Amino acid sequence: MEQFTNFLFDEWPLTLAFVFITILLGRSFLEPMMSGVKAVKPQEAVRLMNDDDTVIVDVRLEKEFKEGHIIDSIHIPVGALESRIRELDSAKDKKIIVNCQTGMRSKQGGAILKKHGFENLNSIDGGMNAWINANLPVSKSSKKSKK
């Protein structure tokens, strides 16, 4: 045990690196559980959309949304989500897929929805980039989106 303790103190940069990497790995596994937003692959998102009454909330900027979005998604930019939360009241009991370009803003959007009582929250792992890379359909029509 003394050798181990000596190693930890003598090789403190390695020890510090090990602790840092362990924290980052632990965070990547615990974050989805703590945030209440489950990351799903694009194919899993399609299954959710086909099997259940699911609402897709696109939290990207207007310009990004117009370039292409998932069919029938509701567009509410993440910066406006808090003030426009009432638009989603009818979806509180439904499965919700929050989507953005890369998957980062959707986590933020999911946290906002969670704070307002939404429970069945998912986000597309990799966002629209992953959706497009999976060759899934993209719409440029805005008839189903909310301005």
Does residue 131 share a domain with residue 106?
Answer: yes
Does residue 47 share a domain with residue 109?
Answer: yes
When the pLDDT of each residue in the chain is averaged and rounded to a whole number, the result is 88
**pLDDT at position 33:** 57
Does residue 47 share a domain with residue 31?
Answer: no
CB count within 10 Å of CB 1 equals 5
Q: Residue 53: which pLDDT band, with cuts at 50, 70 and 90?
A: confident
CB count within 10 Å of CB 140 equals 9
Range of the domain at 4: 1-35
Query: Over pLDDT 70: what percentage of the chain?
Result: 89
**pLDDT at position 147:** 43
Average of pLDDT values for 121-145? 86
Average of pLDDT values for 10-33? 80
CB count within 10 Å of CB 95 equals 19
Q: What is the pLDDT of residues 56-75, one digit of tens each?
A: 999 999 999 999 999 999 99
**What is the number of structural domains in the chain?**
2
CB count within 10 Å of CB 107 equals 19
Residues marked active site are found at 100
Average of pLDDT values for 116-145? 87
- Residues 5-36: b if buried by 16+ CB within 10 A, e if exposed: eeeeeeeeeeeeeeeeeeeeeeeeeeebeebe
Domain CATH number, residue 127: 3.40.250.10
